[in-house]
């Protein structure tokens, strides 16, 4: 099934802008919903994402739909980091250094930080679960307020 190029999924407080190309998710923008409602017809995958988003915001551990991500423009290291990050369970955090080690490069915490800052699929590839060894760290989505909100939903705040 060919997905539309751009779709908007709206939850209770969050909104996802999905950019598709050839049935692969090229980018996901994570924003505050600000009372917006979406009336556009969604693809089956976007409808699944919307249901998952609503459940997630209600504090339910969700299994995001199986989505094909356009990772080929990333470096091999970036691909390893994001693949390792997808294995971090709901409600758990790890440091940049710990993620670097999981990706096979234990001395690359700063490199992991750069990849997290450029993660094009926040929430689904859960960069909000990566924290600094000394505290919460940064967040590419919508800043620290969003990161705290997401970690609060999952019941973990560093």
Phi, psi of 123 (to 5 degrees): 80, -55
Contact (CB, 8 A) for 81 and 115: yes
Catalytic-role residue among 84, 127, 146, 150: 127
The verdict on whether 52 is a catalytic residue reads no
Crossing angle between the packed helical segments 109-117 and 76-85, to the nearest 10 degrees: 80
Catalytic sites, residue numbers: 127
């Amino acid at each position: 099934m060919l997905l539309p190029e751009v779709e908007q999924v709206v939850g209770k407080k969050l909104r996802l802008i999905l950019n598709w190309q050839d049935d692969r998710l090229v980018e996901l923008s994570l924003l505050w919903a600000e009372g917006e409602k979406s009336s556009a017809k969604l693809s089956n995958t976007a409808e699944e994402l919307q249901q998952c988003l609503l459940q997630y915001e209600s504090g339910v551990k969700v299994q995001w739909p199986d989505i094909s991500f356009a990772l080929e423009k990333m470096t091999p290291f970036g691909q390893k980091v994001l693949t390792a990050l997808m294995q971090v369970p709901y409600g758990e955090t790890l440091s940049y250094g710990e993620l670097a080690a999981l990706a096979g490069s234990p001395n690359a915490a700063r490199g992991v930080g750069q990849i997290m800052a450029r993660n094009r699929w926040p929430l689904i590839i859960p960069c909000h679960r990566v924290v600094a060894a000394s505290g919460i760290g940064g967040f590419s989505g919508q800043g620290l307020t969003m990161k705290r909100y997401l970690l609060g939903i999952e019941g973990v705040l560093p």
